[in-house]
Amino acid sequence: MSRGRGAAAIALGAWCAAVALHASHPAPAAHVLPERLADTGLYAGGGHEVVDPRNRAFSPQYPLWSDGLRKSRWVYLPPGTAIDASDPYAWRFPSGTRFWKEFRAEGRKVETRMLWKASEADGWVYASYLWNEAGTEALLADERGVPTVVDVSPGRRHGVPSRTDCAACHGQPRSGGPLGFNALQLSTDRDPHALHGETLEPGMLTLAHLVGERLMAPVRHDLVERPPRITTASPATRAVLGYLATNCGVCHNGRGEIAALGPTIRYRDLLEDGEAVAHRLVGQATRWQLPGRPEGSSVLVDPGAPDHSALLARMRSRSPSTQMPPLGTVLRDQQAVDAITRWISGLRRAPAVPGPDLLR
Give the residue, 355 or 21, on which the prediction is more confident. 355
Confidence check: pLDDT of 19 > 90: no
Asked if 51 and 102 touch (Cβ cutoff 8 Å), the reply is no
Confidence check: pLDDT of 16 > 60: no
Asked if 232 and 253 touch (Cβ cutoff 8 Å), the reply is no
Share of residues in the chain with pLDDT > 90 (%):
60
What is the model's pLDDT at position 14? 32
pTM: 0.85
Q: What does the mean pLDDT of the chain come to?
A: 85
What is the model's pLDDT at position 23? 37
Single out the residue of 229, 255, 61 nearest to residue 265, CA to CA. 255
* pLDDT digits 0-9 by tens, 272-322: 999 999 999 999 999 888 988 888 889 999 999 999 999 999 999 988 888
Q: Average pLDDT in the 117-143 region?
A: 92
Which CA distances in Å does 45 have to 40, 97, 248? 12, 20, 39
Confidence check: pLDDT of 354 > 60: no
Asked if 66 and 328 touch (Cβ cutoff 8 Å), the reply is yes
What is the model's pLDDT at position 360? 41
What is the model's pLDDT at position 43? 96
**pLDDT band, residue 199 (cuts 50/70/90):** very high
* Helix 235-247 and helix 334-345, axial crossing angle in degrees, nearest 10: 130
| φ, ψ of residue 244 in degrees (nearest 5) | -65, -35
Choose the weakest-confidence range: 15-24, 63-72, 143-152, 323-332: 15-24
Give the residue, 355 or 67, on which the prediction is more confident. 67
Residues 6 or more apart whose Cβ sits within 8 Å of residue 24: 79
**pLDDT band, residue 151 (cuts 50/70/90):** confident
* pLDDT digits 0-9 by tens, 202-226: 999 999 999 999 999 999 999 999 9
Most confident of 70-84, 121-135, 250-264: 70-84
Confidence check: pLDDT of 350 > 60: no
- CB burial of 223-246 (b: ≥16 within 10 Å; e: otherwise) equals bbeebbbbbbebebbbbbbbbbbb
Nearest-angstrom CA–CA distance, 265 and 252: 6
Confidence check: pLDDT of 168 > 80: no
What is the model's pLDDT at position 287? 87
Give the residue, 38 or 353, on which the prediction is more confident. 38
Sorted by where each begins, the domain ranges of the chain are 6-179, 235-358
Q: Is the dihedral of CA 156, 67, 265, 176 positive or negative?
A: negative
What is the model's pLDDT at position 325? 83
Confidence check: pLDDT of 8 > 50: no
Q: Average pLDDT in the 175-199 region?
A: 94
Confidence check: pLDDT of 326 > 90: no
* pLDDT digits 0-9 by tens, 30-70: 458 999 999 999 999 878 889 999 999 999 999 999 999 99
What is the model's pLDDT at position 323? 87
SS3 for the chain is CCCCCHHHHHHHHHHHHHHHHCCCCCCCCCCCCCCEHHHCCCEHHHCCCCECCCCEECCCCCCCCCCCCEEEEEEECCCCCCEECCCCCCCECCCCCEEEEEEEECCEEEEEEEEEEEECCCEEEEEEEEECCCCCCEEECCCCCEEEEEEEECCEEEEECCHHHHHHHHCCCCCCCCCCCCCCCCCCCCCCCCCCCCCCCCCCCCHHHHHHCCCEECCCCHHHHCCCCCCCCCHHHHHHHHHHHHHCCCCCCCCCCCCCCCCCCCHHHHHHHHHHHHHHHECCECCCCCCCCCCCCCECECCCCHHHEHHHHHHHCCCCCCCCCCCCCCCCCHHHHHHHHHHHHCCCCCCCCCCHHHCC
